[in-house]
A and B are shown apart, each in its own frame.
Chain A
Amino acid sequence: MDYSKQIQDIAAKLFADGKIDVFVGYRMNGFDDNQVPVVITDPKEVSTLVFTEKSVFNLSNYLKADHTRNKRAGLVVKGCDSRSLNLLLTESQVKRDRLYIIGIACEGVVDDKGQKMQNCIECIVPDAVVYDEMLGNPQGRKDYIVNADIKALAEKGLVERREYFEEIFENCIRCNACRHSCPLCYCAKCCIDQETASLYNGSNTASSAFHALMTWSLHLAGRCVDCRNCEKACPSHLPLHLLHKQNEKVIFENFQNHLAGVEEGERGAFYKYSLKDPDDFIM
């Protein structure tokens, strides 16, 4: 999977035609085979753009940044990235007519050790769902499968599960990197930063981490697209996907097979109403 040349050509043409002000892509980091996301404003830098199976970071995160907000931007999206972009569009965070989207029919990306990422093995939407131009051969949608870690966790007893999650919360250092690297966390003032909310007091005590991470994951329930930007950012290597994948499973089973951001214009599970929604919890 190497679309570097095609992306360079497209970006150069977009700049030449005056269609975009910035282009968000990847470049090599200059010393090994890992890549760095790059926000280009100078057409001369287009030749540095690359795209291979090392292009891991979800670039739709950059659309909420100062340099790209309210600008005409070109960007590269894989399947999962396009789902989060789709949600940003539905939630009116970015305007579709300001974007030029290069969609990738993604064959999966690899981690630092060269292993295919777990979320890519289980990927249900490898092809970009929103795009102006598609690169690669579309593979079509795949069936939803329950994550192996979630299955293993479900087999454990309640106490064991609780202990496992407590370990996660105890090792959280409350840097909030998960939230900042999440493309769908765009609130101007996040609830876990409120000075008056004493539950999220900023300390790295297990109770504070519990409240912060649980609130965060519930705000992403039915919206998380499993791009794993949060796990890549976590300095403690916490398995944060467990929180999201569990939510995803519950929502898939209870909200008519809902999967976040796979259809253009489709809202998150909690943002739309259907008569089929479960209501047995209402007294």
Chain B
Amino acid sequence: MRRCANPPLPLQQTTHLFKPTNLVVSKEAFRKYYVRAFISGVVCAAFILATGQSFGNDYSAPRLAGSDQPDINGIWQALNTANYDIERHMARPAMALREGPHGPVPAAAVVKLGAVGAVPGGMGILVDANGSPSTSGIPYTPEALEKKRENAAQWLDRDPEIKCYLPGVPRANYMPYPFQIIQNENAVFIAYEYAGAVRDVYFDNDVPAPVDSWMGQSDGYWEGDTLVIEVTGQLDSSWFDRAGNHHSGAIKVTERWTPTGPNHLHYEATIEDPETFTEPWTIAMPLYRRMEPNARLMDFKCVEFVEELMYGEWRRYPLDE
């Protein structure tokens, strides 16, 4: 089934690209793009009117034994570069950059990583009201946009992932690690490989989160074959990605998990946070089943791996720089 999708943006590679958000696009290309996007939008709207669905899906998943819920058990993983930057972005030399004599180069702290430390590009995971890839960025308030830029400039000091802190939602779902959904008639539990983060989805809860937490409180219900989870009570400390995209403690995330095939889920999350954004916005992506016969979550207790970073200076005999 044809999915509603805008034509790809006519990006041009430049050799001097310092600010990752400054995508360079010619005016002529943009004009053509918008004409094509408009036509695509009209076609898409007609399609939606015809089918009554914002997102084409005629797949009927197998039922969970003893229940009418679709079975979404399994090990899943996103396959995109959203953890680097959920917005559309081009490849760049490193997450931490400094000005070189002829353009940006990796910061001293990461230069030895070479190509391993480079950032792969990505088309971004924001979608518009039709579920089509969005042409605009995150609708930050001016102050919040300023903070995002500061975060990006201070990435090495500020990204909670660097310190192995719990990732929060939605970031946990598109980090480059698998996660496992353990679902029975009465429960959906999500165990993430990264940092051993966990979520226990409540289905019968009418009590607000008693205290804020890194992973928040997940309240779920089934809407047909879609698992809707409202995530509230998150701390303001987690980020959306390595690019410094952030939120406040007022964030509410409404996730929609829908099986679209035996080995695919469609994941969508709408972000509301009036303290940070001028309006709600939505991300979407497919999630893929890990198909290896021996697929499983491995230990990734990164707490141990960041001890040198966080406490190395307090060793009795600090290691050489």
Q: Tell me if chain B binds chain A.
A: no
